[in-house]
Structure 1
Amino acid sequence: MMRKKKHTGWWIVGIVVVILVAAGLSVGANGGFTRNDEITVGTIGPDVQVWQHIANSKQAKSEGLKIKVKSFTDPVALNRATASGEIDVNAFQSWSYLQAYNKENRKAQLAAMGTTYLEPMGLYSDKYKSVKDIPDGATVAIANNPANTARGLLLLQSAGLIKLKPGFGATSGTNEIAANPKNLQFKEIDDTTGPRVLKSTDLVLIGNTIALTGHLNVLKDSIYHEKVDQSTKDNINVLATAKKNRDNKEYKKLVKLYHNKQIQQWIAKKYQGTKVNVDKPLNYLEN
């Protein structure tokens, strides 16, 4: 009788294992069960194509990653979906945008897992070939939203055209200019119109995503653009997840996958090198 019960017990264990495997679970080496689900990546605009390429790549398959890409148009909605767990990881925002979001959403916090790229903002002109050619009183078209206004002013400071007041922040405006030796005049425009106003103004500050829509290559067509250094670290894009998932090993594989050499070659060709690869530790952003 005892031997029969022992055999029955083993049959029950076997049936349980079969059921769990059928449900999408696998037996781990440590004797526990781990879920083998796909990772849902939420993203916006051109990055949808980037992550669809990554999801279908042989590199993703070799890492054992199943990636589902979901497209969004509203960045706040995407961050909230990530915080709630509807989206596992998102790929669209800069380090400064993530910090601003967390400041405004104390109960739905996100965490960065790794860096991806810098899309340089550029200073463009149809009239002048270099910064030294810019005359006194030139008009600069600048985005009318606070984040890109501040970013544009920081770029002008980097180019040596203006000097900003101490404490200049991520949403500061033209009233925070301390010195303007060339007496630059500022004209606010909608971000999306940048390429269209090139012929009607002296200088235009344009973000790379908008520049690409106007067939402009920031590395070749701008007279000055952002470089990867500490002054632009806030503009580096990151992969983000809900704060509770920041140490998820499967999610972290996405960071390594993004920086894969073959993946980067595809991105560089697709976007003419304007999504500048930034493979830095998170403390580069935090310090």
Structure 2
Amino acid sequence: MKKLLSIALGTSVLLAAGCSKNAPEQSSTTKAADANQPQKIVLASTGSDTDVWQFIATLPETKKAGIQLEVKNFTDYVAMNNATANKEVDANAFQSYNYMVAYNAESKSKVAAVSTTYIEPMGIYSSKYKKVDQFPSNATIAIPNDAANEARALSLLQTAGLVKLKADFNPIQGTTNDVVENPKHLQLKPIPMATAVRVKNDVDAIVLGNTLAMEGGLNVLKDALFYEPADQSTKLYVNLVATAAGRENDPVLKKLGDLYHTPAVKKFIDEKFGGTKIDVNKPVSYFTENKQ
């Protein structure tokens, strides 16, 4: 990966700072620059989100905000967060809040939320059945095998009335071991989501996030047998713009959230993604507030 471009501090600046050996390196969004020059932000994304941010990069509103946006497409979620945490890119836009929390729990490097973007309902899909109550005993249901999405899938299966989870189920790190009631003896099979759509016809049902569903030609609002509501009960699954921990209040990065919620972007998303990316314009505190 290319290292994030930055301006080396001059000797005189170091002296003014007391010759500290720990003086932080300036980022591309905080360096002193000609006020007439746009500030470059390198943003990592993936799949359909890349399409959205590449569109944002072309908007006159982005230029007016003084931003030159470069969008890099990644295929690996962990690599994207690692690059962001290590400041090889300025920010990323691909993950839900619960995925970010799970990543931070497992990684020495940390990322933090800058702003909210949208929620994509997770859905249950099947090539064999039309309703979830048609699933037979011992039906095999494939679910994501990464921590955050496995927990999310299990919560969805509970909402659909297929299983019951422990009362203290962790919505971020819960696993199939937390299933306490499974009246149909469903075989829950965690699998890598990169291969999920390809195995859809090999199992009785599959639980998919909307980005992967769309890549497989599926619309969660039309093709899923059951999908998440977009309300307070699913706020942990709202997607966000993330950056390295400590940079989340950078005023230039904050502009990315404002740009995402412009009318032009909303129109682009509605037309291109069939209403499956539901806009959520909330403060970051929305994720941790107690209101239910």
Report the CA distance between 1:199 and its aligned residue: 3.4
The partner residue of 1:64 within 50, 63, 66 is 66
SS state of the match for residue 209, structure 1?
helix
Q: C-alpha separation between the residues in 2 aligned to 1:247 and 1:207?
A: 29
TM-score (normalised: structure 2): 0.79
* Structure (1 or 2) with the greater helix fraction: 1
Matching of residues 133-148 of structure 1 within 5 Å: 133-148=134-149
Q: Structure 2: how far apart are the matches of 1:256 and 1:60?
A: 10
Regions of 4+ moved over 6 Å: none
- Give the TM-score normalised by the residue count of structure 1: 0.80
Task: Name stretches of at least 5 consecutive residues in structure 1 with no aligned partner.
Answer: 1-22, 28-34
> Is 1:26 the counterpart of 2:38 in the alignment?
no
Q: Secondary structure at the match of 1:38?
A: strand
Q: Residue 161 in 1 paired to residue 142 in 2?
A: no
Aligned positions, number: 257
Task: Tell me what 2:241 maps to.
Answer: 239
Distance in 1 between residues matched to 2:67 and 2:165, nearest whole Å: 46
The Cα of 1:190 is off from its aligned counterpart by: 3.5
Q: 2:53 maps to which residue?
A: 51
Instruction: Give 1 or 2 for the bigger CA radius of gyration.
Output: 1
**Structure-2 residue corresponding to 1:76:** 78
Cα distance change of structure 1 residues 130 and 238 upon mapping to structure 2, 3 Å threshold: same
Equivalent of 1:38 in 36, 40, 47: 40
CA distance in 1, matches of 2:63, 2:39: 13
Counterpart check, 1:115 vs 2:124: no
2:96·2:239 contact (CA, 8 Å) conserved in 1? yes
Q: Name the residue aligned to 1:128.
A: 129
Question: CA offsets per residue over residues 204-256 of structure 1, 9 Å max, x none?
Answer: 21222221122111110001011222332222111112232222222111101
User: Which residue number corresponds to residue 175 of structure 1?
Assistant: 177
**255-264 vs 171-180, which deviates more?**
171-180
* C-alpha distance in 2 between matches for 1:270 and 1:221: 17
Counterpart CA distance in 1 for 2:258 and 2:130 is 39
Q: What's the counterpart of residue 152 of structure 2? A: 151
How big is each residue's C-alpha offset from its partner over 1:160-211, in whole Å with a ceiling of 9 and x where there is no partner? 2211012222232222111122332323444234333343432221222221
SS at match of 2:112: strand
Stretches of structure 2 that go unaligned for 5 or more consecutive residues are 1-31
Q: d(CA) in 2 for partners of 1:187 and 1:111?
A: 31
Residues 1:186 and 1:102: Cα distance change in structure 2 (over 3 Å): closer
Amino acid across the alignment from 1:182: K
1:268 Cα deviation after fit: 2.0
AA matched with 1:25: D
Look up the SS of the partner of 1:244 in the other structure: coil
Match of 1:194 in 2: 196
C-alpha change, 1:125 and 1:109, in structure 2 (3 Å) is closer
Q: Distance in 1 between matches of 2:167 and 2:62?
A: 45
**Contact 2:99 2:149 (C-alpha < 8 Å) held by counterparts:** no
**Distance in 2 of aligned mates of 1:186 and 1:131:** 14
2:207 counterpart residue number: 205
Aligned equivalent of 1:249: 251
